[in-house]
Amino acid sequence: MPEPAAYPRAEGKLSPRYRAVLVVAALAILVIGSALRPRKPAPETATPPSQTEVRRLRSLAERQSLETMSRHFAGIAADVSSRLVRIGFESSTGVAWDADFVVAPGQSEPAAASTTLVPESGEPLAGTRVVGGPGLPLSAYRVAGRLEPAVRRESGASDLVPGQWLVAVWRGNAGSAFAPGHFVETRPTQCGELSAREVATSLGLSEPMAGAGLFDLDEVLVAVVLPCNGHYAALSLESVTLGLVRGRSPEGQLRALYGVRLVPLDEGSRRHLAAESGLLVSDVWEGYPADLGGLRPGDVILGVAGRSVASPEDLQPLLGSGESSGVELTVWRAREKRVIRLSPGPHGVPPSGEADGRPGLGLAPPDERFRIGQVAPGSPAADAGIREGDELVRVNGAAPRTPAEAERVLARRGRPVFVEVRSGPRRFGALLEPR
Amino acid sequence: MNELSSLGLILLLALGAGHLVKFARVPEVSGYLVAGIVLGPSVLGWVSEQNLTALEILSEVALGLILFSVGTVFELSRFRRVGRQVLLLTLVESALAATIVSAGMLFLGQSWKTALLLGAVAVATAPASTLMVVRENDSAGPLTDSLLAIIALNNIYCIIAFSLVGSAIDLASGLDGPASLLSTLYVSLYPLAWQLVGSVALGFLVGTLLAAWASKVTETGETLILLGGAILLCVGLSRVLDLSPLVASMAVGATMVNFTRHSGPLFDTLSRTDPPFYAIFFVLAGADLDLGLVGSLGLAGVVYLLGRAGGKLLGARLGAEWLGFEPAVKRFLGLALMAQAGLAVGLVITIQRRFADLAPTVSTIVLASVVVYEIVGPISTRYALVRAGETRLPQHDDLVI
C-alpha cells in the first residue's frame, strides 16, 4: 500500500437518504438490542444470595459481634483477676480491698481465725481473720503480703446507669471465671444484721460466686457478692465499708471471737434478773466459744478476769489477748454467781458439719422442739425480733418440759418473762414485758 | 509514587528505551514493553498496582485510538476486491491455530472445556503492537495490506469462537430441560450477536457523527478534540452497553474511511499527536506483565505457545498458497501474527467470571504465554516485514495506516 489508503474517495458512494436510513437502523439496533440483553450474562456468577444465605450471614455477623463482646469481658476478667484471691480450701473468692486486706464472704459457721489466700500469682499467702463472725455477711483477712488493691475509686454504685454492663469476676478452683450482666437498680436489703444497699443486676448469683467482685467496663469495682440471709447479693462498696466498721468495733470483735453479743442492762432486765450491774448476754451463736463455754442468753456478766464490768469498754481483757488459757468470767445466772471459762479463737471450735453435736453445751436441747407458730404483729415478742419458725429454748432460765408448760408460763399475765429463742445458729434472749 | 510522577517516568523511560532498542534492530514497541516490565511491580515497582489501576483509562483511550486506525483497513472499495480472500485466509489460519492448540490440550489430558477455551483464545492477535510495528517501519506492500485486515478479523473470529465455546460449555453443564435449553442458548449466544451487531452499530453512529463534524473542523487542535471526544464516547458507551470496545472502535474507523473525504486531515492530526498515548499504553501493558508467570508456564503452556505459533505459521502458509496470495504473504504472514495481548487477557477475565472452575488452568497458561508473545511478537512482526521488503527508510515521513 504505497499510497496511503486513508485518503478515501468516499464522496458520492452513499446518498444522504441511504445514510440516514443506516443511522436510524443503527440506533434501532442499539436501543432494541440493549433492551433484549440478558440481565445476567453469567447466571452462575450473578445469582443473588438466597434468603437463607442472607439469614445465615446475618446470624454469622451477629455471632461474631457477640464473640467479640465475650472476648472483651474475658479481657476485663483477666485484667482484674489479680485483685482477687481464692480463700483457702473453700470455693469462695476474696477481694483485695487494700494491699494487705482482703474482704471475703462471711461464714455461717465458726471458722478458723487464719487461712491461706491464693492470689492469681499462685503463691499462697497466710491470712489472719480480723473481721467476721455471726450476723455479718462478710469477713476480712489481714495478709502478710502485697496485693493489687481492687478499690480504686470510692464512687461505688452511685453513677451506675440502668442497663449498663457489669462483669462479675471470681476465682474458681480452675482459674478465674466471669459472668456479664446488666445493672438494674440499687435497693436496700438486709444482710444478717447489716442494713445494706444491694446492687441488683440481671446476674443469677449463686454459691460459687460468693466473694466475687462486680466490675464495670472501666474495671472499677462497684460491688462485692456476699451471702445475704440464705441467698447471695452484690453489696455496694459503702455497705461493705459499713460492715467492716461494724466488724471492727469492740462489739463486732467480741462476736467474731466468742460468738456472743452483750448489751447494757436496762431497767426491766435489771429488775427481772435481780442484777445490780453488768452486761446482759443477749445473743449466743452456736458452736462459738461462748456457746461451748456454757454462756447463754439471759446470763449477766459481772466481771472479767476478776474485774467487774459495767460497760462494753470494760471487756478489753476479752479482746486484747488471745492467750490460749482463756479468760474467766463471773456470771450471774438464776440469782447465783458462777464462773465460766472462755477460750477465744479457734480452740474448741468443732469442725463445721459436726456443729449439731454441740459438745459442752450446758443444757441438752429439749427432746421436743417448741416451734413458735405465730407471732402477733406489734406484740412485745415481735418487737424483740422473734419470728414464726423460731424455737423456744428456755423461759425464765428453765427449759419447758412440755408445750403446755411453756404456754402456761407465757400466758401468765402482768409479769415480764425472759425467753430464750433459737433462730438458726443464733440463740437470743429477750425480756417480754406486757403492755 | 503518585500517578503523575509515574506517568512522567513512563514517558521519559519509554522514549529512552525506544532509542536504545533501535540499535538492537528491535521495534520501539518492544522497548516500551521492556521499560514497562522494568518499571512495573515485577522488577522495580516504581509503577505500583494502584498506579496501573489509576492509569488504566489512558490505556483504554490509546487502545481505542489504535483500533480506530486498524478499522480504516476496511475501506469498502478495496475490501470488496480482496475481502473474500482475506476472510478465508484468516479463517484457515485461525482455525488451524485453534485446532492445534485444542488437540494438544486434549492430548495432554485437559478437559474438552479447557481445550476448546484455550483454542478460542489462541485465535486472538494483538492489533496494537502489530500496527505500531507497521507504523514505525513505514511499511507498505501486499503483506502490510493484508496483515492489518487479518489482524482485525482475527479478533472478531476470536470473539465469535469464544462465545460459541462458552455457550457449548453452558449447555453441557446446565441442561435441565427444553425451557432451560432455550434460555441457556439465549443467555450465552445473545451476547455474541449483541457484541458484534451492537458494536458495529455503535461504531457506525459514532463514526457518522465524527465524519459529519469533521467536515466543519479545520483547525488541528479542534480536530484533536473531536477525535478524542468521539473515541472516548465510543469506548465509554460500549462499556455501558456491554459491547466490545475493540469492535466498536474498529467500526468507527471503518465508517470514517468509507463515509467521508475529510478523514485525511483527521488521521494526519492523529498520527502527530498520539505517540505519547501509545508509549503510555505499551509501558503500562509491560508493567502489567508478570514476569514471574513465565516460570509457571509448564508443559501445557509450552504446548499452547508452540501450538498457537505453529498453527498460525502453517495456517497462513497453507491458506495463502491455496488462495493465491503474493509470495511475501505466503512466506511471512504467519511470522507477523505472533503478538498476543489485550484481548487474550480480557478473555481470561471473562473466563474467571463465567467458568470459575476452569479459570486456574486457563489463566496460568494464557497469562504466562502472553508475556512471551508480547515480547516476541513485535520482533517477529518486524522481522517478517523487513524480510518481505516492505519497510521503508525511516526518514520517509509519510502516513501509513
CB contact under 8 A, A8 and B77: yes
Q: Is the pLDDT of residue A136 over 80?
A: yes
Indicate the SS3 state at residue B168.
helix
Question: Which parts of A229-361 are beta strand (E)?
Answer: 231-236, 260-264, 279-285, 300-304, 307-308, 327-333, 336-342
Q: What is the pLDDT of residue A13?
A: 57
Indicate the SS3 state at residue A364.
coil
* Residues of chain B positioned with their CB less than 8 A from the CB of A14: 259
CB contact under 8 A, B201 and A2: no
3-state helix, strand, coil in chain B (%, to 5): 80, 0, 20
In this prediction, what percent of chain A has a pLDDT beyond 90?
Answer: 7
Q: Tell me the average pLDDT across A156-183.
A: 83
CB A93 within 8 A of CB A85: yes
Indicate the SS3 state at residue A347.
coil
Q: Is the pLDDT of residue B305 over 80?
A: yes
Domains in chain B with CATH codes: 3-387 (1.20.1530.20)
Distance CA A78, CA A76 (A): 5
Name the band, by pLDDT with cuts 50, 70 and 90, for residue A1. Answer: very low
Q: How many helices (H) and strands (E) does chain A have?
A: 10, 21
In A, minimum Cα distance to B392 occurs at A2
> Hey, what amino acid is at B221?
G
In this prediction, what percent of chain B has a pLDDT beyond 70?
Answer: 91
CB contact under 8 A, A4 and B399: yes
CB contact under 8 A, A29 and B354: no
A333-387: pLDDT as tens digits: 888 888 888 876 554 343 333 334 334 333 444 444 678 878 888 888 888 888 8
Q: Is the pLDDT of residue A8 over 60?
A: no
Distance CA B377, CA B285 (A): 14
CB atoms within 10 A of CB B93: 29
**What is the C-alpha end-to-end distance of chain A, expressed in Å?**
137
Complex prediction ipTM: 0.70
CB A392 within 8 A of CB A401: no
Instruction: Provide φ and ψ at B338, rounded to 5°.
Output: -75, -35
CB contact under 8 A, A1 and B144: yes
Task: Tell me the pTM.
Answer: 0.50
B164-202: pLDDT as tens digits: 887 788 777 765 555 566 777 777 777 778 888 888 899
Which of the residue ranges A38-47, B280-289, B378-387 has the most confident prediction, judged by mean pLDDT?
B378-387
Q: What is the pLDDT of residue A328?
A: 82
Indicate the SS3 state at residue A428.
strand
Q: Which set of grid coordinates corresponds to residue A210?
A: 460468693
Name the band, by pLDDT with cuts 50, 70 and 90, for residue A14. Answer: low
B381-391: pLDDT as tens digits: 888 888 877 77
Which of the residue ranges A70-74, A365-369, B68-72 has the most confident prediction, judged by mean pLDDT?
A70-74
A24-34: pLDDT as tens digits: 888 888 888 88
Closest Cβ opposite residue A42 in set B264, B354, B401? B354
Residues in contact with A124: Cβ distance below 8 Å, sequence separation at least 6, in sequence order = A116, A117, A118
* Residues of chain A positioned with their CB less than 8 A from the CB of B264: 6-7
Q: Which residue has the higher pLDDT, B376 or A343?
A: B376
Name the band, by pLDDT with cuts 50, 70 and 90, for residue B368. Answer: confident
Q: Tell me the average pLDDT across B351-373.
A: 75
CB atoms within 10 A of CB A367: 6
Of A318, A341, A337, whose CA–CA distance to A251 is shortest? Answer: A318
- β-sheet bridge partners, residue A168: A179, A214
CB contact under 8 A, B261 and A23: no
Residues in contact with B203: Cβ distance below 8 Å, sequence separation at least 6, in sequence order = B71, B234, B247, B248, B249, B250, B251, B252, B253, B254, B255
CB contact under 8 A, B187 and A2: no
Of B140, B33, B14, B35, whose CA–CA distance to B372 is shortest? Answer: B33
CB contact under 8 A, A30 and B73: no
Which of the residue ranges A86-90, B71-75, B287-291, B380-384 has the most confident prediction, judged by mean pLDDT?
B380-384
Residues in contact with B339: Cβ distance below 8 Å, sequence separation at least 6, in sequence order = B125, B126, B129, B130, B373, B374, B376, B377, B378, B380, B381
CB B244 within 8 A of CB B235: no
B82-109: pLDDT as tens digits: 777 888 888 888 888 888 888 888 887 7
CB contact under 8 A, B204 and A43: no
**What is the C-alpha end-to-end distance of chain B, expressed in Å?**
37
Q: What is the pLDDT of residue B242?
A: 80
Q: Give the Å distances, CA to CA, from A114 to A111, A400, B130, B176.
A: 8, 40, 96, 82
Q: What is the pLDDT of residue A231?
A: 86
Indicate the SS3 state at residue B398.
coil
- B164, B169, B170, B176: CA torsion to nearest 10: 130
Name the band, by pLDDT with cuts 50, 70 and 90, for residue B266. Answer: confident
- How close does chain A come to B262, measured CA to CA in Å? 8
Distance CA B164, CA B189 (A): 7
CB contact under 8 A, A26 and B186: no
DSSP string, A238-258: HHHHHHHHHHHSHHHHHHHHH
Q: What is the pLDDT of residue A9?
A: 44
Distance CA B300, CA B111 (A): 12
The conformation of residue B195, written as its DSSP 8-state character, comes to I
CB atoms within 10 A of CB A380: 17
Q: Tell me the average pLDDT across B371-376.
A: 81
Q: Is the pLDDT of residue A43 over 70?
A: no
- β-sheet bridge partners, residue A200: A185
A222-272: pLDDT as tens digits: 899 998 888 899 998 888 888 888 888 888 888 877 888 888 888 888 888
Residues in contact with A125: Cβ distance below 8 Å, sequence separation at least 6, in sequence order = A85, A116, A117, A118, A119, A143, A144, A145, A147
CB atoms within 10 A of CB A40: 12
Q: Lowest-pLDDT range, A14-18, A150-154, A360-364, B360-364?
A: A360-364
DSSP string, A151-186: ---TTTTTT--TT-EEEEEEEETTEEEEEEEEEEEE
Q: What is the pLDDT of residue A225?
A: 92
CB A142 within 8 A of CB A158: no
Of A137, A152, A153, A154, whose CA–CA distance to A103 is shortest? Answer: A137
- Give the residue numbers in B contacting A (CB under 8 Å), as ranges: 72-73, 75-78, 140-141, 144-145, 174, 186-187, 190-191, 193-194, 197-198, 200-202, 204-205, 208, 241-242, 257-261, 263-264, 267, 353-354, 356, 398-401
Quickly list H helices, B108-215: 112-122, 127-136, 142-173, 178-193, 199-214
- How close does chain A come to B223, measured CA to CA in Å? 16
Closest Cβ opposite residue A37 in set B194, B202, B258? B194
CB contact under 8 A, B204 and A9: no
Q: What is the pLDDT of residue A169?
A: 92
Closest Cβ opposite residue A30 in set B201, B356, B401? B201
Average of per-residue pLDDT values in chain A: 78
In A, minimum Cα distance to B194 occurs at A33
Place of cell 498496582: B49
CB neighbour class for B311 (10 Å; exposed up to 12, middle 13-18, buried from 19): buried
Q: Which residue has the higher pLDDT, A115 or B82?
A: A115
Distance CA B394, CA A208 (A): 95
Question: How many CB pairs lie under 8 A apart between chains A and B?
Answer: 105
Instruction: Provide φ and ψ at A36, rounded to 5°.
Output: -85, -5
Closest Cβ opposite residue B258 in set A10, A40, A41? A10
CB B234 within 8 A of CB B64: yes
DSSP string, B250-307: HHHHHHHHHH-STHHHHHHHHHHH-HHHHHHHHHHHHHH--THHHHT-HHHHHHHHHH
CB contact under 8 A, A43 and B145: no
Which of the residue ranges A180-184, A403-407, B98-102 has the most confident prediction, judged by mean pLDDT?
A180-184
CB contact under 8 A, A27 and B201: yes
* Residues of chain A positioned with their CB less than 8 A from the CB of B400: 1, 4
CB contact under 8 A, B204 and A33: no
Place of cell 503518585: B2
Average of per-residue pLDDT values in chain B: 78
Q: Dmax of chain A from CA atoms?
A: 148
- How close does chain B come to A60, measured CA to CA in Å? 26
Long-range contacts of A385-392 (CB under 8 A, 24+ apart): A385/A423, A385/A428, A385/A430, A386/A419, A386/A421, A386/A423, A386/A430, A387/A423, A390/A421, A390/A422, A390/A423, A391/A421, A391/A422, A391/A423, A392/A419, A392/A420, A392/A421, A392/A422
The conformation of residue A323, written as its DSSP 8-state character, comes to -
Inter-axis angle of helices B298-323 and B327-336, nearest 10: 160
* Residues of chain B positioned with their CB less than 8 A from the CB of A38: 186-187, 190-191
A297-328: pLDDT as tens digits: 888 888 887 788 877 777 777 776 555 567 78
Distance CA B102, CA B162 (A): 13
CB contact under 8 A, A5 and B72: yes
Q: What is the pLDDT of residue B118?
A: 84
CB contact under 8 A, B257 and A34: no
Compute CA A231 distance to the chain's CA centroid, rounded to the nearest angstrom. 8
Q: Tell me the average pLDDT across B20-35.
A: 79
* Residues of chain B positioned with their CB less than 8 A from the CB of A8: 75, 77, 257-258, 260-261, 263
Distance CA A117, CA A374 (A): 45
* Residues of chain B positioned with their CB less than 8 A from the CB of A1: 140-141, 144-145, 400
Q: Is the pLDDT of residue A56 over 50?
A: yes
Q: Give the Å distances, CA to CA, from B329 to B316, B317, B401.
A: 8, 8, 18
Indicate the SS3 state at residue A387.
coil
* Residues of chain A positioned with their CB less than 8 A from the CB of B152: none
Distance CA A297, CA A295 (A): 7
Q: Is the pLDDT of residue B214 over 60?
A: yes
